[in-house]
Structure 1
């Protein structure tokens, strides 16, 4: 199921197409999905092994897409929603609802992690919030996030959105993209690729973690530019390679 097909499927089958099925339920699914994703991400930050952190994020996103993708498309990331919107697979109004739900879901997931983790562990891992690697310049960190997010969003568009190239293995492909991005970029930028994943832990940990908002703009500017770039690149490829669009 593609990222926009949940609405088309409802119409094709002749079942009700009210605002609950086409708008409210997908927004709720995005809220729940991001809440669970951020909770797992924060909890996984306890592990000092980068591979374990990467797999925790990647496998979680794959499972969430399998479980909730037929309801909302399984974006769980404002940068993905932006790229999918640029590609024409979701209406801007619904995308705004997704964006708000994703940010709120990230806050709740981070709050759950703070409630569960002992205080000393929570402070040690900075509440699961992101931080730049030692000596990393914020400007170059933004570039890193742009490239990493582009890999993720382009994978989404080609494996789950485009009619010609989409695959039943899209959830695994997207999960792998998240995992390899974290393995490669985690020590440098934290490999957020997701403003909702960045905001929730930073805001919830702010009262007890010093510097949780340091360079926070990196994890907004980079992923959103990456999502925008991937959406534009996808659109150009569809034109020049004559790939089938979503509609």
Structure 2
């Protein structure tokens, strides 16, 4: 029995020595840690704004808000799913700020992400101008947000931008940052939230929820009427969502009180 066991042990050790050890995992280099994520934010935001602007410029009147709602929501879902492992798929300054405040990214990457998103927004709007006819582009003012005409509309529009951005940012934080509620379905969840927000609030504020989406068309069409609303509202909404997660909804690691 002792000889047989020794023989088995020798055979086992021979088999084990014949297996190849997996190569050590190489840590990400500077390009993969810093440059590539920023480029992904540029490209992702660019294509989101491009597709979103075209859906508004070429919108069929009979489709109403349905066409832009579906296009924006599906574009978000696709780009988030594709770019998630590269940059985290923010594509929106309020998302980046809120994700940082909830511990989802390092401070030194915040400003590069914000610059990348705004640059992507301008490039995407430029692409939409190149693709569409001059007549349609002019009629839609380049898909800039032209729904606000008087100060009487401002209160409802600002509140709508705050509340709807808070909702979609909360979905991002709970679905992608908060460990207790993380979900592989977050691209679908964020896309659906964008769709329902546009369907619900499109006639009130235009449902921007994203300063990068607002800046690009404004630059290309030179349309700045009440443009500040689409910065103040979404950024405030993103900060509120971060506060909700940090103070109330987050898990023990994320929450800063009542641990």
Do both share a fold (TM > 0.5)?
yes
Instruction: Extract unaligned runs of 5+ from structure 1.
Output: 1-12, 207-211
Tell me the TM-score normalised to structure 1 length.
0.88
Superposed, 1:114-133 pairs within 5 Å as: 114-133=129-148
8 A Cα contact 2:96 2:114, kept in partner: yes
Q: Distance in 2 between matches of 1:95 and 1:193?
A: 18
Superposed, 1:83-162 pairs within 5 Å as: 83-133=98-148, 136-162=152-178
Superposed, 1:1-247 pairs within 5 Å as: 14-45=25-56, 46-47=58-59, 48=61, 49-133=64-148, 136-206=152-222, 212-238=223-249, 242-245=251-254
Q: Secondary structure at the match of 1:189?
A: coil
What is the CA deviation profile of residues 169-191 of structure 1, one whole-angstrom value per residue up to 9, with x for unaligned ones?
11000001111111111111110
8 A Cα contact 2:156 2:204, kept in partner: no
Q: Distance in 2 between matches of 1:35 and 1:190?
A: 19
Work out which of the two has the higher radius of gyration on C-alpha atoms and give 1 or 2: 2
Q: Distance in 2 between matches of 1:138 and 1:129?
A: 16
Q: How far did residue 20 of structure 1 move?
A: 1.0
Q: Identify if the C-alpha distance between structure 1 residues 237 and 15 changes in structure 2 by more than 3 Å, giving closer, same or farther.
A: farther
Instruction: Extract unaligned runs of 5+ from structure 2.
Output: 1-23
RMSD: 1.6
Counterpart position of 1:4: none
Q: Bigger relative contact order, structure 1 or 2, given CA contacts below 8 A and separation 6+? A: 1
8 A Cα contact 2:148 2:154, kept in partner: no
Counterpart position of 2:17: none
Q: Distance in 1 between matches of 2:40 and 2:233?
A: 25
Q: Secondary structure at the match of 1:93?
A: helix
8 A Cα contact 1:107 1:201, kept in partner: yes
Q: How far did residue 137 of structure 1 move?
A: 2.3
